Amino acid sequence: MMILFENLYTKRLLNCLFKLRNITIGILSGTYLLYPITLFAGELHQHIEVTIVDQRVHASFCRPEKGCSLVKPETLGLPAAQMPVDQLTGTPIYVSEFIIFPDRTAIDSPGFEGLEGDMTPGDKIRYLASGHLSYWNTEKRQWSLAPEGVQIRLAGGLDLQPNQDCGQVFCIPKTVEGFTLFNRHGIDGTPSLIVGEIRSDGSLHTHLDWIIETSQGAPDASIGAYMVELQLFTETYPEPSDTLWIMFNNGLALEDFQHAVAGRVMQSSTDTALADKLFSWAESSYPSLFPHATTSFIAFGFYARCYQNGVCVAVKDNHIFAVGGEFGADIVMLGEFDVLTAQAGL
């Protein structure tokens, strides 16, 4: 696995000291006498607990009494007993925060933790990336798609594939590039790589490296909250887990990041009543594309309807998507939800 943080805890300490130094200098120089000190979310470090339930990988919020890290709901502006779970879909949301380094903006949190005896020794945990890179628009106070030209790069474990083309009795396996790229258009790079290998005692403790950057690799992506989508599986248990979301704070003040969390947890990120009106309007306006009224449902984070001709239309992150029938086998983006509802006169 590519290691970007040889001594992350030392760097975290230095980063905190650097922030404290800047604040102290600002106070002494009078800078903060004119402007209030901005509170940042701090280190949102936590672990995702991984185990096997009913022959399938199961991910959940870790239990601190078992020795792992958990971000308290109060830190996220939530009631003490309310974990960050998406209100519309029931998807758990794990949080983290990028750190600015001299050459990159990155973090190796959340970690993945499994207790002794929970899994098969030697088995490999893998991730499967899906969806689009989501973004909290602080001006509109709503979740949308990430700005054009921004991506999150995930450095998974290098994978090996058999190679029978070398003409020798034994061929060196081919190495698969160890990066997955999340952007507003979907997933680029390698969508599935290794998270870690189960230890001999059946436990797991590992971290992946996440980098936020422009599409050219520059470390100056837009400030905001970002969210990616993953599933987990192992070689022994290949059926993917339920979807999990990881939300990253990239430079937002604590209060603004709490608004981003609340935009998923305390309210639905999609106005389902308005979405149903738009679907019904499309059915009456374009009956060849959307024939016959049908029931809406939730799947993979989308609020959707599907039709007898194979077409499905859905809302997610303030955008309309379609797939099937005349739209083809790949998901296509039709436009922004609020713009299309306004054009429809809704």
Q: What is the pLDDT of residue 177?
A: 57
Q: What is the pLDDT of residue 165?
A: 63
- In this structure, are residues 85 and 104 in contact, taking their beta carbons and an 8 Å threshold? no
Sorted by where each begins, the domain ranges of the chain are 40-265, 272-343
DSSP code string of 40-79? B------EEEEEESSSSEEEEE--GGGT-----GGGGT--
Q: What is the pLDDT of residue 72?
A: 86
Q: What is the pLDDT of residue 49?
A: 94
pLDDT lower than 50: segments of the chain = 1-42
pTM of the model: 0.81
Cα–Cα nearest to 207, from 69, 13, 42: 69
Report the C-alpha gap between 268 and 317 in whole angstroms: 11
Bridge partners for 234 per DSSP:
125
Q: Which residue has the tokens 């590992």?
A: 206
Q: What is the pLDDT of residue 292?
A: 80
Distances (CA, A) of 166 to 162, 170, 176, 192: 11, 8, 17, 25
Q: What is the pLDDT of residue 23?
A: 34
- In this structure, are residues 113 and 205 in contact, taking their beta carbons and an 8 Å threshold? yes
Check the CA dihedral 75-78-83-86 and report its sign.
negative
Q: What is the pLDDT of residue 238?
A: 95
Amino acid at 216: Q
**Percentage above 90 pLDDT, the chain:** 60
Q: What is the pLDDT of residue 2?
A: 41
